[in-house]
Chain A
């Protein structure tokens, strides 16, 4: 037993060497021209189709502007993201664009990175850090756009439940707050924060609560079902992370309530877009992940060449969100398919 166990590390080591060896010879073939290109790293906050679109944009910018772009999607949350960034610094890159998972508590790490290389944030900002600029959407404004869709879907008022992956992220908090403030007709104030779990209402609308599933899709769908149990007369369900609306649709379909409960979405999952076409989703708010990727690489290259004029005074480059309804879904979807190449 001991002997066989002892052989495993040795075997693994051999496999590892073989693997690394292969990788080396792979990159070795094209190394000479590639070595001169600036190296840009694009770090996401997880694995999602959203990031696959951003990846296409980042890589397109890399080939347009002749840079070596690597895209990294951390799989195990914040510690994994830290590991990736540290390894990138060790390897040496000319610029990093990152979507920080926990901006407030990652400030130290981000500042360390900013000392070593050009650092910008995308998708979710870390305003307290030394990042040069932030590329992304104003999530509060995007949330308000989504809230406007909710009001369109429920012109006579009604009850609303919000479904979201998690609320720890700055973008998630602001997005949700934007929906709430718009639906309840409050003035524009991105610093508002309503604690989840409290029922919020005005004379027309009641926001029943916010349910988080921590990316467990089985749990996410269960939340929708439980909401249907608890509030059979619910007016509208809002899914704020890309995978939430398809889960809402799935649960509604199984309950035979498709079309009877209004659905408002966020992001551009294929099931969401199809349901807008079919009339089962009122509309969705889409960001522009392709442009996040493209702009991040473009700006980092400019910064790397010493061009500081690309940094605006606000340090914020807005890639605005858009509302997609039945009338423009077709055009949006076909454009998306073109950007993603042949992928459907």
Chain B
């Protein structure tokens, strides 16, 4: 809990600064937008958090989002498959891809970096090949399905504010993930094997199966994310859809308290990490900063924030140590 306090404080600080510079930040419309984007990125970030907790990494998320994001409208609009079949196909493919990653990593003992880097190249290439590099979209069709990404649940008494559907989905995913990680034996296994896989194996944990599960969860959520992304935007170009999103996901997970060395992570922190990045991007447009320095601003704010968090933590630790020395 302490770990996510810093990132939460940074999120609040960025929100306060944005409110000070723009009276539009707190409008219902803007908050809905920011929440929807946070939810979309939050879902893929929770997925990669599971892999990072095991000490692994998944670089293929952006390409998998591309494969699913282009694949779903392609199957529906070009191939004319019925909706349930197309949905089952893309989500099933995501899970199978996760399974393949897991098997290559646990059985063939390939490095996660290598496996998922090849995935990064492979899935985007596959998406481009299947679609002939053509932009994919739903046109005016499938508004019912698109409601999952674009719709909102009205909250009475809040001046037209509604909770965006992706946020509802994120809520389910996050609660399930948090319960799994913190309140089931399997979650504890994951954290344990992330700290020290050998020790975990010697104490009787089937580490291979747990790692396999982490990759399946990661790719499954990336597939869900990709579906929601394309439902929201209604246009996916195979060559750049989801480009670099794995880095957004990994960044959100690490900002939220996951250690790249494995064994640590909190779902709430990951969601806050995802929110931080989306609020920063929103702030840049709302305050009228030029968009071409967007990434510079995001990078600088996060770096300063994380450094400040670390300094504060160290000072606190020093003070505690000093106090204990006096007491002792």
* Chain A partners chain B: yes
* Cβ-based interface call for A169 (8 A): no
Minimum distance in angstroms from B322 CB to a CB of chain A = 47
A222-B234 contact in complex given A196-B290, A197-B288, A271-B139, C-beta closer than 8 Å: no
Contacts of A216 in B (CB 8 A): 240, 243
Contact A250 B234 (CB under 8 A): yes
* Cβ-based interface call for B208 (8 A): no
Contact B234 A246 (CB under 8 A): yes
A-B residue pair count with CB separations less than 8 angstroms: 102
* Cβ-based interface call for B259 (8 A): no
Q: Chain B contact residues (Cβ within 8 angstroms of A): what range?
A: 35 or more
Contact B237 A222 (CB under 8 A): no
Contact B110 A247 (CB under 8 A): no
Contact A226 B30 (CB under 8 A): yes
* Cβ-based interface call for B29 (8 A): yes
Interface readout for B243-261 with A: 1 if CB under 8 Å, 0 if not? 1000000000000000000
Contact A247 B239 (CB under 8 A): no
Chain A CB count within 10 A is highest, among B25, B238, B292, for B292
Binds B, one of A44-52, A152-160, A170-178, A303-311: A44-52
Q: Chain A contact residues (Cβ within 8 angstroms of B): what range?
A: 35 or more
Interface of A is mostly: helix
Binds A, one of B170-178, B182-190, B209-217, B278-286: B278-286
Q: How far is the CA of A279 from the CA of B282 in the complex (A)?
A: 30
Contact B110 A4 (CB under 8 A): yes
Interface of B is mostly: loop
Minimum distance in angstroms from B293 CB to a CB of chain A = 9
Contact A213 B286 (CB under 8 A): no
Minimum distance in angstroms from B103 CB to a CB of chain A = 13
Binds A, one of B6-14, B47-55, B130-138: B130-138
Contacts of B37 in A (CB 8 A): 218, 222
Closest 3 CB pairs of A and B: A226-B285, A229-B30, A197-B290
Q: Write the residues of chain B forming the contact surface with A, with a CB cutoff of 8 angstroms.
A: 22, 24-25, 27, 29-30, 33, 37, 40, 108-110, 128, 133-135, 137, 139-140, 150, 229, 232-241, 243, 281-282, 285-286, 288-292
Q: Write the residues of chain A forming the contact surface with B, with a CB cutoff of 8 angstroms.
A: 1, 4-5, 46-49, 52, 73, 75, 167, 196-197, 209, 211-213, 215-219, 221-223, 225-230, 232, 243, 246-247, 250, 254-255, 270-271, 274
